[in-house]
Amino acid sequence: MKYLLIFLLLFIPISVTPKEESLKEQKQQEARVYRAQGYKLQSIGNINEAMSFYKKAIELDPTYVEAINDLGVAYEALGDLESALAMYKKVLEIDSNYLPVYTNLGFLYEKKGDILNATNYWAKRYELGEEGEYWREVAAQHLLRLGTYPQIKKALQEKEAIRLSKELVYTREQERLKILEEAKLHFDISSNLYLKGDYPQALKEIETALSLNPPNEELKIKMLEFRKKIYIVQTKQEAIALTEGALLDIKKEDFLSAAEKLKNALSAVFSLSKEK
């Protein structure tokens, strides 16, 4: 019966009282205050004082990875690489997804001349980072310089190829839009000249617009139809003018000139018949 009671006690969940939870939160808050004070001191060069605050923060919250990492940075700043390494590895034991520690380990092992471990931690920092993130790019550059992580060279080459491809697409799109706008401008000028009755210049402008070969099939069809419209109106006017001129020449008995004008008028009328 005694052993059964002990066995049951082992499986009874130990609940945390609200008071204990509140005390834990209070300690965590105090730890953050100590860490902030330590960070402020370290930023002005008071490394030893900063370390005492980091240690107080860790005593209050042993899982406070930011403070443990900061303590490692402080040890490293004092030249104690082994103590710094111990702090960094402790961070990884608590939270393997805390990214700054991979950066610190990469730097530290490079400083020690341990290229293999430096590569390992820079690679982890690169792999766990997000696209475009500053420290991920730093990791990539270190791996490229170390030359011990061939995947990074390939990844950077692919990234550069994508960037160049996007730039090319953008440039081509800008050129396409520029051509389109220029073609539309000539089309508008042609339309205004047509309304004013200046058919030769209107025809010239629409020909210029078409020569640009605008990258819009619908616009090109409209331009072709408009060119045909200008051509028909202009040719009709030429045929009428030639005929009227021929009649005047007949009245003057300049039959040779009249014949030439009638010939040209008939030629114009014949070309119109093919357009219909």
Q: Tell me, letter by letter, the H, E, C secondary structure of 169-190.
A: HHHHHHHHHHHHHHHHHHHHHH
Please give the pLDDT value at position 15: 54
Q: What is the pLDDT of residues 205-250, one digit of tens each?
A: 899 988 888 888 898 899 889 888 888 888 888 889 888 888 888 8
Q: What is the pLDDT of residues 43-72, one digit of tens each?
A: 999 999 999 999 999 999 999 999 999 999
Kindly state the DSSP code that residue 218 receives in the 8-state scheme. H
Please give the pLDDT value at position 5: 43
Please give the pLDDT value at position 4: 43
**Cα distance between residue 190 and residue 209, in whole Å:** 9
Please give the pLDDT value at position 157: 63
pLDDT at 6 over 60: no
| Concatenated DSSP letters of 209-247 | HHHT--S-HHHHHHHHHHHHHHHHHHHHHHHHHHHHHHH
Tokens 């490394």 found at? 47
**Cα distance between residue 139 and residue 142, in whole Å:** 5
Name the segment(s) of the chain with CATH classification 1.25.40.10.
23-146
**Cα distance between residue 136 and residue 124, in whole Å:** 10
Domain boundaries 164-275, corresponding CATH code = 1.25.40
**Rounded average pLDDT over 108-115:** 93
Reported confidence tier of residue 24, pLDDT bands at 50, 70, 90: confident
Reported confidence tier of residue 103, pLDDT bands at 50, 70, 90: very high
pLDDT at 10 over 50: no
Please give the pLDDT value at position 8: 39
Fold of 23-146: 1.25.40
Nearest-CA neighbor of 31 among 50, 51, 58, 52? 58
Mean pLDDT estimate for the chain: 85
Percent of the chain with pLDDT over 70: 88
Tokens 């766990």 found at? 128
Q: Please name the amino acid found at residue 232.
A: I
